[in-house]
Amino acid sequence: MTAPVLDVKDLSVTFHTREGVVTAVNEVSFAVKAGEVLGLVGESGSGKSVTGLAVLGLIDPPGLIAGGSIKLNGRELVGLPEKDLRKIRGKEVAMIFQDPMTTLNPVLRIDTQMIEAIRAHDNVSEKAARARAADALARVGIAAPEERLKAYPNQFSGGMRQRVAIATALLNRPAVLVADEPTTALDVTIQAQILSEVQTLCAETGTALVWITHDLSVIAGLADRVAVMYAGRIVEEGSVAQVLEAPIHHYAAGLIGSVPSRNKRGVPLAQIQGMTPSLANLPPGCPFAPRCAAATEICRRVMPEAIGYEGGRAARCHHPLSSPTPVAA
């Protein structure tokens, strides 16, 4: 067994707001190995993006990493001073954001931005950096990269901008790449292009990928493992086949059921009643209990512990849906 590149244990992130302390990420644990793709799935407000930002050390006040550890290649990132984080960020762990227009600086040319990213971490000449930037653009399928380097972000289309952002993120061959909904704003054809490129690049460089999305169908085709988040917690984790074919948690099952798919045409979609609870005002027990058809008294009172099941999966549910054998802790 290879040691995981990224090992997150019991991570909690809180935000101090006027309504009190909100725990956006609550005791989240996951690990990603080199070359592996982990899909982090959840709806708005489930804490998936905050988890991604925490890995990069990008939680700013009023946010705070309240507990837990994030280990990158065995090195603890939580509590590291900003000076050291800057050396790691963009070098060993990089991030792609949803909206490439806000990622790229609109008043600087692409070359300025990419060369800066290279020279921030490597002591190379500008010429060498430019060659590397052009090479990186070529690898994400941008034609005439030397020419395009001189362009401004507004001269690129949405899909092209996202490619530039991906090329920039992969410039220093990071060990871990966190991608926060990078294809949500794109058309299916462009999404397929980006997915195919990210797939190839990560396979080539052995980069571990954390793909954050609300779209289960993308995860189905892209990821090895999937973690489903709800109200700040990972409620189920396992291989893509395990979770999508035989989910344990009722929320995961509901999420899969609500994807419109061809075998259920004309029939009402399985829908989850109600809506995601406010993080500032979570029920004492399982946060999903008010929307769950199988909820009983215990669900409303006691927060279910994460239980490990056979086949390396885990879930937090008092009434598991399918019945895999629990692994004794």
Alpha-carbon span 281 to 295, nearest angstrom: 19
Pairing relationship of beta strands 37-41 and 208-213 according to DSSP bridges = parallel
111 and 171 in contact (C-beta within 8 Å)?
no
Query: Is 97 or 230 the residue whose CB approaches another protein more closely?
Result: 230
Q: Provide the minimum distance between the beta carbon of 17 and another protein in the complex, in angstroms, as a whole number.
A: 17
In one-letter notation, the amino acid at residue 86 is: R
Query: Is 70 or 253 the residue whose CB approaches another protein more closely?
Result: 253
Query: Is 63 or 254 the residue whose CB approaches another protein more closely?
Result: 254
Rg, C-alpha atoms of the chain: 21
Q: Provide the minimum distance between the beta carbon of 46 and another protein in the complex, in angstroms, as a whole number.
A: 9
Query: Is 73 or 199 the residue whose CB approaches another protein more closely?
Result: 199
In one-letter notation, the amino acid at residue 60 is: D
Q: Provide the minimum distance between the beta carbon of 45 and another protein in the complex, in angstroms, as a whole number.
A: 9
Alpha-carbon span 103 to 160, nearest angstrom: 13
Q: Provide the minimum distance between the beta carbon of 195 and another protein in the complex, in angstroms, as a whole number.
A: 4
Query: Is 36 or 92 the residue whose CB approaches another protein more closely?
Result: 36
Residues that bind another protein (CB under 8 A): 43-44, 157-160, 187-193, 195-196, 199, 214-218, 220-224, 240-241, 244, 254-265, 268-272, 275-276
228 and 251 in contact (C-beta within 8 Å)?
yes
In one-letter notation, the amino acid at residue 23 is: T
Alpha-carbon span 161 to 101, nearest angstrom: 7
Q: CA-CA distances (angstroms) from residue 53 to 5, 162, 228, 250, 310?
A: 17, 18, 17, 27, 31
Q: Provide the minimum distance between the beta carbon of 211 and another protein in the complex, in angstroms, as a whole number.
A: 12
In one-letter notation, the amino acid at residue 94 is: A
Q: Provide the minimum distance between the beta carbon of 219 and another protein in the complex, in angstroms, as a whole number.
A: 8
Q: CA-CA distances (angstroms) from residue 284 to 235, 302, 321?
A: 16, 7, 22
Query: Is 105 or 261 the residue whose CB approaches another protein more closely?
Result: 261
User: What stretch of H or E contains 66?
Assistant: strand 63-72
- Which DSSP letter does residue 306 get? P
Query: Is 105 or 278 the residue whose CB approaches another protein more closely?
Result: 278
Alpha-carbon span 116 to 240, nearest angstrom: 38
Q: Provide the minimum distance between the beta carbon of 48 and another protein in the complex, in angstroms, as a whole number.
A: 12
